[in-house]
Structures are given as structure tokens and as C-alpha cells.
Structure 1
């Protein structure tokens, strides 16, 4: 399914799209289409970033879930993924961009550990999404 069709079905513009390429390995091309909502590169706690994404996407949860269910029938695999990437030690560089997208999400000064509340778990279930969290950096 094309990114344009996904946008029309969801009623939400993607922040970024990646178009599936050929199966040749040179140069490498994505194996699937990617329709993506993004947040700035951040060192904020994982659960704060997840809350910000859920705040933005929750009004579209049922549409995302219906689309994921349809795509699962035709392209089994990971059709809906909530992916969060945290970079340790980059607070100063990203402070302005974080303020732009973090509206009312309370941040807590803690370097490790995160928590998913019932609202986030319900969102993941409604959207049929998997959760993928990556953390990078050597500064804690």
C-alpha cells in the first residue's frame, strides 16, 4: 500500500515516508514501504517520548488498528511498530527541538528505567502495534 493511500485512510500526514525498493542488494533499498510519525532525536526518558507520540496519535488509533489489521492479512509481519530511540548525553544539543514537540508531557530527571501506563498499553493494543525501544550512548 502506498504512503499516499495510508495517509488518505488514516486522515493523517506522515512526517516521513520510505518507498520500497527492488530486491537487489546494490545499492540497498528498503524491503517495505514505511509511513512514519517522528519525534526529534532526544535524550528524554523513553516513557515521556512514548507519551508524546501517543498524545499525537491517539485520535487515530482505531484507523491505525484497522489499517494494520488489513496490512497484516496481505503482508504478514510487523506492520505497526511504535519505535522510540533514545540518545544519552545529548541534552544541550536537542533542548530547543524537544521543546517544540513536548507540550504538556512532564519530564522526570532519571537516566534509566521507564514505565508504560494502561493508556499506552491500550493504545498499542488498539493499533495492533509492537513496541521497539533502542537506547544509544555511553553517557549516563
Structure 2
């Protein structure tokens, strides 16, 4: 089974654009979304401005991807926490901070090693399990971030019979 996965930490807002978030935080994002840039009213898409630090390194465990993200964010933790609180206060439940984990199983574009390979034959981490250490959990708490994990199985349903 091929696994493709990535992680990101993001801030979202109804009113504060990513460029302003960048100026406040002093760290450039890897990706941004501009509210309504793809479709305006009556329902803008994307619905929020988004600022993201992303790790899409192949053949890394989720733990390693999150560690890479945290290395970049840690020096800016206080500013990120203050901005996240501001977003929560101004926009309510629609905005704030998130640590997103996205995993795709049996995906044609999966570039990571086979998860079904016996561990003794794998040079490095098995990609099926992952955890968040205390420092990450403390950062999520300090920023008021939610953890959102999306997992998709692209197996051919005919194989399940």
C-alpha cells in the first residue's frame, strides 16, 4: 500500500489577509489562500484567508513532518499564539489555528514506501503510525489550534470483495 501524506499548520481569518498575518508574525508562509479569489458572492471560495507552513517531504513520517513545521514555528510561538487569539476573538469559530494532517492510502501518486513492507526491510520509519509529542501539544494548546486529520483510501472497491 502506497502512502502519500503531508502536514501543515495554518491560520485562517474572515478579514485578515495572509499578507497581514505575515507582517504580524515575521515569518513567510509556504502557501496562502485569498478569501474569494476563486469565486465571489454569494458564497466566496475559499471562504477564509489562509496562511500555512507546510511539509510535503516524501518518505517522512507524520512525526517528522510535524517536527519540521514546529522547528520553523517555535521561534514565533508567542506571536502566533497572540494572532490566533485575536482571530478567535474577531471571527469566532470560523477562524483560528489548525494543525492539519492529510494522508492518502493506495493513491496512484503515492510516492512513499510501501506501508505493508515488513519493518525489518524498511530503511527508516514505518508510515502507518504517528504521534505528537508534548512540545507539539503545548504549542497547539498555546495557539488554541485544533488538530484535523484527514485520511483517504483510494483502494479500488472491487478489491474489497
Shorter chain as normaliser: what TM range? 0.7 to 0.9
Q: Tell me, yes or no, if structure 1 residue 80 matches structure 2 residue 101.
A: no
Describe how 1:32-111 pairs up with structure 2 within 5 A: 32-40=48-56, 42-77=58-93, 78-88=95-105, 89-91=110-112, 108-111=124-127
Q: Deviations over 1:3-62 (max 9, x none)?
A: 22111110011111111113325xx61111111112226453222211111111111111
Note the C-alpha offset of 1:132: 1.4
Greater strand percent: which structure? Answer: 2
The structure whose residues are more often helix, as a share, is 1
Aligned structure 1 segments of 4 or more residues deviating by more than 6 angstroms: none
In the comparison of the two structures, how many residue pairs are matched?
123
Task: Give the TM-score taking structure 2 as reference length.
Answer: 0.66
Q: 1:112 is paired with a residue of what secondary structure?
A: coil
Of residues 13, 17, 28, the one that matches 1:2 is 17
Match of residue 150 from structure 2: 134
**Alpha-carbon deviation of 1:84?**
2.1
Q: Which has the larger radius of gyration?
A: 2
Query: Contact 2:57–2:65 at 8 Å: present in 1 too?
Result: no
What SS is found at the alignment partner of 1:75? helix
Q: Structure 1 regions of 5+ residues with no counterpart?
A: 93-106
Deviation digits for residues 87-132 of structure 1 (CA, Å, limit 9, x no counterpart) = 444227xxxxxxxxxxxxxx94223221111111111112221111
